[in-house]
Amino acid sequence: MDKFTFKTPEGTRDLMFDECETFNFVKNTLSEMFSSRGYYEVKTPVLEYFDLFTLESAHFKQEDMYKLCDNTGRILVLRPDMTMPIARLASTRLKGAPLPIRLYYIQDVFRQNPGYKGRSNDIAQAGIELIGLNGLLSDLEVIITAARAIEQCGLFDYKIEIGHAGIFKKLIDRLNIDSDSKEEIRIYIETKNYNALENKLKTYPEPMVKAIKELPKLFGGREILDTALEIFGDLASEELGFLYKLYDSLNAELQDKIYLDLGLVHRNNYYTGTVFRGYIMGSGDMVVSGGRYDSLLSEFGCDLPATGFAIDLNALTGVLLSKSKGIGVKNPDMLVFALPSYEIKAIRFMEEQINKGTICELLPFDSKESAIKQANIRKASRIAVIGENCEIFDLV
């Protein structure tokens, strides 16, 4: 056997026992919550065509995707994202369905990260997509659902930041520059690299430049909208007006959890309106990412507005486990010990006990002493010895 027989590939890992229990708790909590809010579950294939993720608006780097070929030589990928498959599904399978369409999914996405960085290449996500609605109400529904999803898992030390993809697009489109420079500027804003942004913009004329330069600095409470309004004038008054309404409504519901970051400019340029991210104390990376993508579905011939988010289940599980809020593995209540030729009787007895809600484990020991010894190791509180009679012993 070669050395690869014994380990999992870079960026993947086994989940065991309490990790699984905690993961399932998170997963079940979210799926119950989504379905009680009128969302229906969908599952999409792990494999999709490479082309789906190379649409102009998608912007997935080819080197980040796991690729393989099918038997006719077409290139497939392990899905790196869930929004594109959902857009594909909604615009084909659900074409003409009554609106709005509410969908949720709990699936893994796969991304190749550089090696030895401790990043996970297999990311379990839960998410919702609300298709066919735009406007304040649907944005509120989705963002508040994201907040409740975190709270339902028992985590309350979190923040949600909101921004608007339209602001950057409007400002940058007024600068007459090529798409490479746009992307460079976007990266400087996203990484709050004030210096590089300043240098890059030196050659362009005011006043557009001033507005763009200020974008990454505009994060905080309601006051930053006032500042933005002052700086931008009427360049993005529609978007800012919307953010006032959104922020005030969210603030009434989520108070100090919510703040604004106008420098929130995602790499995925399918976002068109409100964008948001969620952070939880204890996780160094964002845990929730979402926003409105009103023009994506039209690329699939289905002109519908849509919004949604994805939440990183591994990150939630990790935070819960690190706070010892994880769900422990249950020890058996009772060990069932079968004497020779009473095996079926023992199994029947065990099933009766299980129906009463007891966790049982069958053991094939040849003496009562070794069964008691085992029961102590397994931290079981009772053993049952099944022979001609059924004897139950309590262990202290």
Partner 1 sequence: MRPIRIALTKGRLEKETIKIFDKMQLDTSELKNKGRRLILPLSGYEAVLAKAADVITYIEHGVCDIGIVGKDTILEYPGSFYEMLDLNIGKCVFALAGPKGFDFYSGYSVKTVATKYPNVARAFFEQKGMDVKIIKIEGSVELAPLLNLSEGIVDLVETGNTLRENGLEIIETITPISARVIVNVASLKLRKTEIENFISQMEKAI
Q: Which residues in the 256-275 window bind partner 1 by CB under 8 A?
A: 259, 261
Choose one: 85-93, 156-164, 292-300, 318-326; the region binding partner 1 (CB under 8 A): 156-164
Question: Can you tell me which of 50, 66, 194, 393 binds partner 1, judged by CB under 8 A?
Answer: 194
Query: Terminal CA-to-CA distance of the chain, rounded, Å?
Result: 46
Residue nearer to partner 1 on the CB measure, 33 or 146: 146
- Establish if 62 lies at the interface with partner 1 (CB under 8 A): no
Those residues whose C-beta lies under 8 Å from the C-beta of residue 48, and which sit 6 or more positions away, are: 76, 77, 79, 84, 85, 88
Distances (CA, A) of 295 to 90, 269, 304, 318: 13, 10, 7, 35
Shortest distance, CB of residue 193 to partner 1, whole angstroms?
A: 4
Q: Please give the sequence-ordered ranges of beta strands (E in DSSP) within 179-238, or none if there are none.
A: 219-220
- Amino acid type, 226: D
Q: How far apart are CA 6 and CA 125, in angstroms?
A: 27
Q: How far apart are CA 282 and CA 342, in angstroms?
A: 52
Q: How many residues bind partner 1 (CB under 8 A)?
A: 23
State the number of CA atoms in the 13 A half-sphere of 371 facing the CB. 25
- Establish if 254 lies at the interface with partner 1 (CB under 8 A): no
Residue nearer to partner 1 on the CB measure, 194 or 204: 194
- Establish if 284 lies at the interface with partner 1 (CB under 8 A): yes
- Establish if 192 lies at the interface with partner 1 (CB under 8 A): yes
Residue nearer to partner 1 on the CB measure, 102 or 277: 277
- Establish if 93 lies at the interface with partner 1 (CB under 8 A): no
- Establish if 193 lies at the interface with partner 1 (CB under 8 A): yes
Distances (CA, A) of 266 to 154, 228, 256, 326: 28, 19, 24, 32
- Establish if 2 lies at the interface with partner 1 (CB under 8 A): no
Question: Can you tell me which of 283, 307, 314, 353 binds partner 1, judged by CB under 8 A?
Answer: 283
Question: Can you tell me which of 73, 96, 98, 118 binds partner 1, judged by CB under 8 A?
Answer: 118
* Structure-block tokens of residue 388: 């001609």
The DSSP call for residue 153 is T
- Establish if 387 lies at the interface with partner 1 (CB under 8 A): no
Shortest distance, CB of residue 52 to partner 1, whole angstroms?
A: 24
Helix (H) or strand (E) holding 41: strand 40-41
- Establish if 285 lies at the interface with partner 1 (CB under 8 A): yes
- Establish if 59 lies at the interface with partner 1 (CB under 8 A): no
Collapsed DSSP state (helix, strand, coil) of residue 5: helix
Shortest distance, CB of residue 300 to partner 1, whole angstroms?
A: 29
Question: Can you tell me which of 3, 93, 117, 202 binds partner 1, judged by CB under 8 A?
Answer: 117
- Establish if 195 lies at the interface with partner 1 (CB under 8 A): yes
Question: Can you tell me which of 99, 281, 359, 395 binds partner 1, judged by CB under 8 A?
Answer: 281
Those residues whose C-beta lies under 8 Å from the C-beta of residue 93, and which sit 6 or more positions away, are: none
- Establish if 220 lies at the interface with partner 1 (CB under 8 A): yes
Q: Give me the sign of the Cα torsion angle 49, 52, 54, 59.
A: negative
Residue nearer to partner 1 on the CB measure, 279 or 349: 279
Residue nearer to partner 1 on the CB measure, 172 or 189: 189
Question: Can you tell me which of 20, 196, 229, 254 binds partner 1, judged by CB under 8 A?
Answer: 196
Distances (CA, A) of 177 to 56, 199, 231, 385: 18, 15, 22, 82
- Establish if 323 lies at the interface with partner 1 (CB under 8 A): no
Residue nearer to partner 1 on the CB measure, 43 or 267: 267
Q: Give me the sign of the Cα torsion angle 100, 101, 103, 109.
A: negative
Give the β-pairing of 75-78 and 40-41. Answer: unpaired
Q: What is the dihedral angle through the alpha carbons of 196, 198, 201, 204, rounded to the nearest 10 degrees?
A: -160
The DSSP call for residue 54 is -
Question: Can you tell me which of 139, 161, 214, 294 binds partner 1, judged by CB under 8 A?
Answer: 161
Residue nearer to partner 1 on the CB measure, 131 or 250: 250
- Establish if 382 lies at the interface with partner 1 (CB under 8 A): no
* Residue ranges binding partner 1 (CB under 8 A): 117-118, 157, 159, 161, 191-196, 219-220, 259, 261, 277, 279-281, 283-286
